[in-house]
Each structure stands twice: as C-alpha cells, then as structure tokens.
C-alpha cells in the first residue's frame, strides 16, 4: 500500500464530494426560482440517484476491464459538464424554450434535470475510487484504506454546504461554476498525478475472465443477490442503507418539527454528524479492523445502528439527540466501510469494480425510496415515525445478519467462475 496513491485517491474523492456538497443543498431553491413544485424538486433530487443506479455498475465493471484511471477521467468529465450545465441552466433553458416552443421556466427545469441525470450516469467516482483502494491494499489493511474514502466523503460534505451557502449570496449559479472548477482541478490531478493501479497484464487477464456481453444491471444484480456471501452482504447493504437514508433525508424536517430548529441550526447539527463520520472512518475503522473480524463489526454495527435510530425517534431534547448521534455516526461509518471491504473479499479480482458498482446501485435505490417514505411517515404520523420505521428495518437486519453471517456463514468464494461482476459461479 503506497501512501502517495492513497493520498491521491483521497483528494479525488474529497474534491468530488466538496463540489457535490456545494450545490446539493441549493438545488431546491434554484429550482423553485423557475416555478418548481415540491414534487418536481423531489424528482430533481431523486433523478441523480436514479441515474447513478444505472451508471455506477457499468462504470465499475468497465474499470475492471480498461483500468481505473480512464474511467475516473470519464466520470469526472461528466461531472464537470453536468455542473457547467447547472450553472448555465438559465440562458440554455431559455434558448431551448424559444427553439422548441415551451415556457422559459420549463426550458430551464429541463436543463436542470438533464444536468443532474448526466452527472448521475457518469458519477462513478466513489465506486472506482473504492476499487482503486482495493487494488493497492491487501486484506489486512483494506478496511483502513476504504475508511479514508469515507473520511474524504464526510469532509467534503462538511465543507461543501457551508461554502455553497456563502457563494449562493452571489447567485445560485455561482456555486455550480465553483463546483465545475473543482471538477476541472480533479480531472487534471487524476490525469497527471494518479498512477493506474491495474497493470496491462492484469487488465488482459481480467478481460479474459469476464464474459463478453454487455452488462445488464438488473440481470447482474439478480445474479449477485443469489451468490454465496455476496447476496447476504448486498441484502444488508440495501436495508441498512434504506434505514440510514430515511434518517438523512428527513432529518432537517424532523429537526424543525421536533425541536423548532432553523436552517442554520440544522446545518450545525449536520456538520457535527459529518465531523463524527470523518473521525470514525478516518481513524476508528482501521483500529477496530485490527482487533475484530469484519463479521463481528457488521453484526455489532447493525445492533448499534438499530438502537440509535430508535433513540433518534424518541429523543426528548436536543442534547439527548446530540449524544445519540455519536453511536449512530459510529455504526454508520463502520457499516459503510466494512460492508464494502467484505464485498471486495467475496468476489474474484476481475469482479471487484462491477460488484462495488452494484453495491452503489443498491445504495442509490435507497436514496430514491427514502425521501418519499420518510416524508410520508413524518407528515402522517409525526416526527417520531421515521425513526421507528428505520429502527424496525434495522431490527430485521440484525436477525438476518445473525442468521446469514454469524450462525451459518457462506464461504467467501465459491468455485472459480469465468464470469463478469455479479454473475453466479459456474
């Protein structure tokens, strides 16, 4: 494991998430300027995750065949173009409206949707970065390496929204142009400073080991779910991701309804969560991985997460909530990192990128479902309902993890398969 390579990929993820964090909190206000209803704003937010659901597995598998660096460059270039379209949505949308004969506001909204979908389809940076970490680490330090990805993710999300909020005072297009500038810096840093992690010989071997057919996401996902070891890990990834995404997607509304916090105060609480996530994934995961097996960490993480989400639902005061966010952040950071590490050890080398892409696709699905489910529960039953729902989901995850990973674990790998990512062993 070369520290220079890890630092380079850390910067790639950090800059990528810093740019993403710049514009994410501002999208609703940006869209509302052009007459977007809450439903349209929700669809705009979900469009990125829905597009990533398709794009991440394809880019992950492609990186197994042609190398990590070329796919990272394509992904970052797509992000750059997406941010530029976002910043230029007003003039481009009005020109489009004049050309095809629709209202100017509708033209701008169409450009906004296209920019987010393009960014989602090409937004495989995190998946390919995780595959890169897998290439330059071994089984003993992989969780620590992947923890750095999580730390970069959290750090970008801490600084991005704050910077974006400051820049938005000059117009909602300005943060988008700033994010595009960061993407350009990212592109140049990868092009000139990040070495390829897969040698030509390794890429030829992996191409020979993959079935020569276009990867169809749903088919690959179905096959992966039926594989030993991989299937249970993806099941855990989905239901844990759904429970955690409910927390993330409705937390601002929860804070407003339950404790009367305004946007500024909620931002400080979320920054506190981000700091905890950085500390856990950057420092804590590596130390825990030296003392405990990944199975024990996953099982313990699901228990702590379930109890923390139930505590979130019933927290009587803000101070109690702040205390509960500590174990919630700890378990979330551990599960995000260790599940990815366990997946990379459950497939053959030529399948790593594609399998991580499938995991990212599963996570994207939860981010499409969670905002609607959490918002409905909060609106219909009260601020406590999303937390109870998420806690019950995690209760099922605990029992599933105990049965499939602790009591009756599948072997990490079955018979050798001449297959692509996500396909069943021969």
CATH code, 124: 1.20.1250.20
Per DSSP, the three-state class of 311 is: helix
131 touches 421 (CB < 8 A): no
412 in a structural domain: no
8 in a structural domain: yes
CA dist., res. 157 & res. 275, Å (int): 9
Find the domain containing 187 and state its range.
3-407
Q: Is 42 exposed, middle or buried (0-12, 13-18, 19+ CB in 10 A)?
A: middle
pLDDT at residue 186, rounded to an integer: 87
249 in a structural domain: yes
14 in a structural domain: yes
417 in a structural domain: no
124 touches 91 (CB < 8 A): no
CA dist., res. 324 & res. 237, Å (int): 22
271 in a structural domain: yes
Tokens of 226: 């039926």
Nearest to 16 by CA among 247, 194, 271, 249: 194
Question: pTM value?
Answer: 0.71
Could you tell me the mean pLDDT of each successive run of 10 residues in the chain, 426 residues long?
69 79 73 80 78 81 84 90 91 92 92 90 80 79 74 75 77 86 89 81 61 55 80 92 87 80 70 77 75 90 95 91 89 87 83 80 81 81 91 95 86 50 38
pLDDT at residue 108, rounded to an integer: 92
69-100 burial code (b ≥16 CB/10 A, e <16)? bebbbbbbebbbbbbbbbbbbbebbbebbeee
416 in a structural domain: no
Alpha helices in 168-229 (DSSP H): 173-193, 200-209, 217-225
CA dist., res. 171 & res. 173, Å (int): 5
Place of tokens 């599963």: 362
Query: Residue 128's Cα: distance from chain center in Å?
Result: 12
**Domain count for the chain:** 1
264 in a structural domain: yes
pLDDT digits (tens, 9 = 90+) for 348-359: 777 777 788 788
pLDDT at residue 46, rounded to an integer: 76
């Amino acid at each position: 494991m070369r520290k220079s390579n890890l630092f380079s990929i850390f910067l790639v993820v950090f800059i990528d998430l810093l740019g993403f964090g710049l514009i994410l909190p501002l999208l609703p206000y940006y869209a509302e300027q052009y007459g977007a209803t809450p439903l349209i704003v929700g669809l705009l937010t979900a469009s990125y995750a829905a597009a990533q659901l398709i794009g991440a597995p394809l880019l992950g598998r492609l990186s197994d065949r042609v190398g990590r660096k070329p796919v990272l460059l394509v992904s970052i270039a797509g992000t750059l173009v997406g941010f530029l379209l976002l910043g230029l949505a007003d003039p481009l949308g009005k020109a489009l409206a004049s050309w095809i004969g629709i209202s100017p506001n509708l033209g701008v909204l169409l450009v906004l949707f296209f920019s987010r979908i393009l960014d989602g389809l090409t937004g495989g940076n995190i998946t390919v970065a995780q595959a890169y970490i897998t290439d330059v680490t071994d089984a003993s330090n992989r969780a620590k390496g992947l923890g750095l990805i999580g730390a970069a993710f959290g750090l970008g999300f801490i600084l991005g929204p704050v910077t974006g909020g400051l820049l938005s005072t000059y117009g909602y297009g300005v943060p988008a142009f700033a994010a595009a500038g960061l993407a350009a810096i990212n592109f140049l840093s990868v092009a000139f400073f990040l070495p390829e992690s897969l040698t030509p010989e390794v890429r030829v071997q992996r191409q020979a080991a993959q079935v020569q057919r276009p990867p169809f996401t749903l088919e690959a996902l179905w096959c992966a779910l039926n594989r030993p070891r991989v299937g249970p890990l993806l099941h855990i990834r989905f239901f844990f991701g759904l429970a955690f995404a409910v927390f993330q997607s409705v937390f601002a509304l929860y804070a407003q309804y339950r404790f009367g916090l305004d946007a500024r105060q909620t931002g400080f609480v979320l920054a506190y969560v981000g700091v905890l996530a950085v500390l856990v994934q950057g420092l804590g995961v590596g130390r825990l991985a030296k003392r405990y097996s990944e199975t024990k960490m996953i099982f313990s993480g699901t228990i702590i997460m379930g109890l923390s989400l139930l505590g979130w639902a019933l927290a009587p005061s803000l101070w109690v909530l702040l205390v509960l966010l500590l174990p919630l952040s700890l378990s979330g950071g551990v599960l995000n990192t260790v599940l990815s590490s366990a997946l990379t050890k459950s497939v053959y080398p030529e399948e790593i990128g594609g399998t991580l892409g499938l995991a990212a696709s599963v996570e994207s699905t939860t981010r499409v479902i969670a905002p609607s489910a959490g918002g409905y529960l909060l609106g219909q039953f009260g601020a406590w309902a999303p937390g109870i729902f998420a806690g019950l989901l995690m209760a099922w995850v605990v029992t599933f993890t105990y049965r499939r990973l602790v009591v009756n674990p599948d072997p990490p790998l079955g018979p050798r398969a001449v297959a692509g990512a996500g396909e069943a062993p021969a």
